[in-house]
């Protein structure tokens, strides 16, 4: 990968279990084969803390998408699904936005969605979603732990991210975790 291709590599994981959702992201930012930063924060809360979003891809692009997504959440009264669909439409059709390179995971107390620049808004099965270079490793580990352990959502996220970091050179163990509990 050339340096012109920009900063890449990360792992974002979302786990739902027993009324709790956890979004975890590693802290590594890579430029080509060089680690530029090991403690980046790629998971954030939006809409008065009611929505958690994590990104994989270009950092500047992700910040642009965070701002746009926050505006959509405000415009649609915090309705995650509606805001996600509207952002995905803009992302796919707007000349400036469609050049952005990132994947997003967005979650609230009820829903988890994966968004892409090609207009995808996907609700994953089984309570687990992951994106980024180590995403498939983290997802596989989380699914196995979800099915075959008594760990809670946060413990599953931590263990799955540790497994991904042990396999993917673009993922580290400096985690940011955010969580929400479902309303009774």
pTM: 0.91
- The verdict on residue 168 lying in a domain is yes
pLDDT tens series, the chain, 184 aa: 333 344 456 899 999 999 999 999 999 988 878 888 899 899 999 999 999 999 988 777 878 888 999 999 999 999 999 999 999 888 888 776 766 777 899 999 999 999 987 888 999 989 999 999 999 999 999 999 999 999 999 999 999 999 999 999 999 999 999 999 976 5
* 110 domain-assigned: yes
10 is catalytic: yes
**Secondary structure element (H or E) that encloses residue 70, with its range:** helix 59-75
Cα separation values, 169 from 9, 57, 134, Å: 9, 15, 8
| Surface-to-core class of residue 48, CB atoms within 10 Å of its CB (0-12 exposed, 13-18 middle, 19+ buried) | exposed
In a domain, 181, yes or no: no
- Residue 184, domain member (yes or no): no
- Asked if residue 179 belongs to a domain, the reply is no
183, part of any domain = no
How far is the C-alpha of 70 from the C-alpha of 49, rounded, in Å? 11
Give the range of the structural domain holding residue 9, as residue numbers without chain letter: 3-174
Q: Which of 10, 11, 30, 171 is catalytic?
A: 10
Q: Domain with 164 in it: what CATH number?
A: 3.60.20.10
Query: How many domains would you assign to the chain?
Result: 1
Q: DSSP for 30-44, please give it.
A: EETTEEEES----EE
Closest by alpha carbon to 153, among 109, 106, 104, 103? Answer: 109
């Amino acid at each position: 990968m050339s340096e012109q291709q920009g900063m890449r590599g990360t792992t974002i994981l979302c786990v739902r279990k027993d009324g709790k959702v956890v979004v975890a992201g590693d802290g590594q930012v890579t430029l080509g084969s060089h680690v530029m930063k090991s403690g980046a924060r790629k998971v954030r809360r939006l809409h008065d803390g009611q929505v958690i979003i994590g990104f994989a891809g270009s950092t500047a692009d992700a910040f642009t998408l965070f701002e746009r997504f926050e505006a959509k959440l405000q415009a649609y009264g915090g309705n995650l699904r509606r805001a996600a669909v509207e952002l995905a439409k803009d992302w796919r059709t707007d000349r400036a936005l469609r050049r952005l390179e990132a994947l997003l995971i967005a979650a609230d107390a009820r829903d988890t969605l994966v968004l892409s620049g090609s207009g995808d808004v996907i609700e994953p099965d089984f309570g687990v979603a992951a994106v980024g270079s180590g995403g498939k490793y983290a997802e596989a580990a989380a699914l196995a732990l979800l099915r075959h352990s008594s760990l809670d959502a946060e413990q599953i996220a931590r263990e799955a991210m540790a497994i991904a970091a042990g396999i993917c050179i673009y993922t580290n163990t400096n985690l940011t975790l955010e969580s929400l509990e479902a309303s009774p």
